Amino acid sequence: MTTTNTAIRMGSIRTAMTDPALLRLLTWLSPAFPTGAFAYSHGLEWAVEAADVTDRDSFCEWLRDVLRHGAGRNDAIILRHAHRAAGDPGALEELAALAAATAPGRERQGESLGQGNAFLLAAGPWRGNLMAGLERVPYPVALGALAGRAAIAEDDAALGFLQAFAGNLVSAAVRLVPLGQTAGLAVLAALESDLLAVAESTRGATLDALGGACFRADIAAMRHETQYTRLFRS
């Protein structure tokens, strides 16, 4: 009995290990994947200067709001729709235009377009001619479409994207606030339920649900354009 059970378990492991979907998602969302995410703070740099964010707790609340009521939620909705439209070039083109238009400011739009185009360039070995000819592809559209084409589960792609988005901003906060690495990890741990909630709430959301209420963070992103001393591009 033990031998049989072991063989069954080993067979399951071999089956899972031969599926490249998870491996691809981990590769594309790795901090080492060259999307340039390290160069953007999503307005956090101004929020720190304006003393909206001063420590671990205030940063945690700032990031929670961005995830639940700002770009985190919107981008997850867009990513899901791009995932479903992976085989429809016309729909992807329309979605890319809509996603670019949802950005509340020039730097936010540049952040999404810059990362999206960099992602497509780096993902060349996997993407083939997907979105060929499009010059302005927001990041959630690029990632969602490629994940759909690669048969990566939509929920996995959405949750992975949200976690990577939060992780990039934690990395920026470690440098800007500044926070210690331990405090930054504590923020990620505290936001696990929020990440899961946003992923769940966006599953059935239509494009009509796009919108936000993160006004202070949006204003920070706009004011960052004229901030005197800057480490980040947004």
List domains and CATH numbers for the chain.
42-226 (1.10.4190.10)
The confidence score (pLDDT) of residue 16 equals 58
Q: How far apart are CA 73 and CA 217, in angstroms?
A: 14
For 100-106, which contacts have Cβ atoms below 8 Å and span 24 or more sequence positions?
100/136, 100/138, 102/74, 102/78, 102/210, 103/138, 104/212, 104/218, 104/221, 104/222, 105/218, 105/221, 105/222, 105/225, 106/222, 106/225
pLDDT tens digits for 95-139?
999 999 999 999 999 999 999 999 999 999 999 888 888 889 999
pTM, two decimals, is 0.91
> 37 or 2, which is more confident?
37
Over residues 80-88, mean pLDDT = 97
pLDDT tens digits for 16-29?
566 799 999 999 99
